[in-house]
Amino acid sequence: MLVQTKGPAAIMAGRRARHRRHAVATIVLGVVLFALAAVALMFGNSFYTPGEIIRVMLGETVPGASFTVGELRLPRTALAILAGFAFGIAGVTFQTLLRNPLASPDIIGITEGASAAAVVGIVVLGLSGPAVSGMALGGALITAIAIYLLSNKGGFSGIRLILIGIGVAAMLQSVVSYVLSRAADWDIQMAMRWITGSLNNAAWDDVIPLAIASVVILPFLFSQARALGMLQLGDDSASGLGVRVTATRLMFILGAVALLAFATAGTGPIAFVAFMAGPIAARITGPGANLLLPSAFVGAVLVLGGDLIGQFAFDARYPVGVITGVLGAPYLIYLLIRTNRSGGSL
């Protein structure tokens, strides 16, 4: 029985079709994000036209809009987009490096490290403002380093890292629960942001550190996207293709953790965004695609869309972390079932 194989022309046609699908999907995601940003800036207790918003962004003084848009809506929208980018890229980086959709920073304990450090800073040390953000940043970095070192004994193992991370996450959640059980009422209210994730009270002071981190880290990650794809083939295959496996993996982990830490310091741990962004982007763009940019767009759409739903879809207002948590929990159950049946790829 003869087995027909695809010729070069068919292979090239398939490759062009995949590239076209990737480009179209990425553009559509960008358009959706732009539309959500426009809605977030125009609508609220007061409506402002696109012309008024553009004038505010150009530095003109527009009665009412200069404060409402320039000091409230614009930093909130910018923080949502930047945090979504950071969560999406951090999530898909870990999932790709470890070749497992469950290997998300919010599953393996890194965001819990930020939350625990922030809650301890608020309740035990009496910190507030930038000092709490600094505690969250340090907590995420220390937790990530600890998980990596513990999982790297006797050689790196992705499964070992995931299991250790889940155990660390459970331990840190217990720390948060214990600290909150001894906290005063006013501290609990402040600490809730670091448990659920919220864009309430977003200000330019929250946006600027994350923006600087993004400008520094994102170009490096995008420039090394090809190496990240090769690592998904396995260490031996990637090494044979010229990738310095250990150094490249460490660089990606450090970059992803830094992005995640700065985003968490600005918004708190917005549940399941890092976890969902990569698999959703993979379904939209198709097999064999580079997922960094699509995952960034999906993350931003999830954060900004979830924030709009939390603000306007219900009688009460809910933090964005509550909305993404409601969306992410059933997706986690679905992914666990699918991964158990078919393996652990995105």
Residue, of 340 and 231, whose pLDDT is higher: 231
Which DSSP category does 149 fall into?
A: H
Go through 2-15 and write b for each residue having 16 or more CB atoms within 10 A of its CB, e for each that does not.
eeeeeeeeeeeeee
Count other Cβ atoms within 10 Å, centred on residue 323: 25
What pLDDT is stored for residue 304 in this prediction?
A: 96
pLDDT tens track for 158-208: 788 888 988 999 999 898 888 888 877 777 777 777 788 889 888 898 899
Cα–Cα distance measured from residue 269 to residue 39, given in angstroms and rounded to the nearest whole number: 24
Q: Taking the model in full, what pTM does it have?
A: 0.87
Mean pLDDT over 318-324 rounds to: 91
Residue count (the chain): 346
pLDDT tens track for 215-256: 999 988 888 888 877 777 766 777 776 777 777 888 888 888
pLDDT tens track for 48-100: 999 999 999 988 888 888 899 989 999 999 999 999 999 999 999 988 888 78
Judged against a pLDDT cut of 80, whether residue 289 lies above it is answered with: no
Percent of the chain scoring above 70 in pLDDT: 91
- Which CATH fold topology does 18-342 show? ABC transporter involved in vitamin B12 uptake, BtuC (1.10.3470)
Of the pLDDT bands very low, low, confident and very high (cuts 50, 70, 90), residue 7 is: low
Of the pLDDT bands very low, low, confident and very high (cuts 50, 70, 90), residue 1 is: very low
- Alpha carbon distance, N-terminus to C-terminus of the chain: 34
Cα–Cα distance measured from residue 294 to residue 163, given in angstroms and rounded to the nearest whole number: 28
288 Cβ partners below 8 Å, 6+ apart? 18
Of the pLDDT bands very low, low, confident and very high (cuts 50, 70, 90), residue 6 is: low
Of the pLDDT bands very low, low, confident and very high (cuts 50, 70, 90), residue 12 is: confident
Domain boundaries, the chain: 18-342
What pLDDT is stored for residue 26 in this prediction?
A: 92
Mean pLDDT over 297-302 rounds to: 96
Mean pLDDT over 277-283 rounds to: 90
Of the pLDDT bands very low, low, confident and very high (cuts 50, 70, 90), residue 342 is: low
219 Cβ partners below 8 Å, 6+ apart? none
Query: Can you list the pairs that 115-118 forms with residues at least 24 positions away whose Cβ atoms lie under 8 Å?
Result: 115/139, 115/172, 115/176, 115/194, 115/195, 115/264, 115/268, 115/269, 116/172, 116/173, 116/175, 116/176, 116/179, 117/142, 118/191, 118/194, 118/268
Looking at every residue in the chain, the average pLDDT score rounds to: 84
Asked whether 69 and 56 are in contact (CB, 8 A), the reply is yes
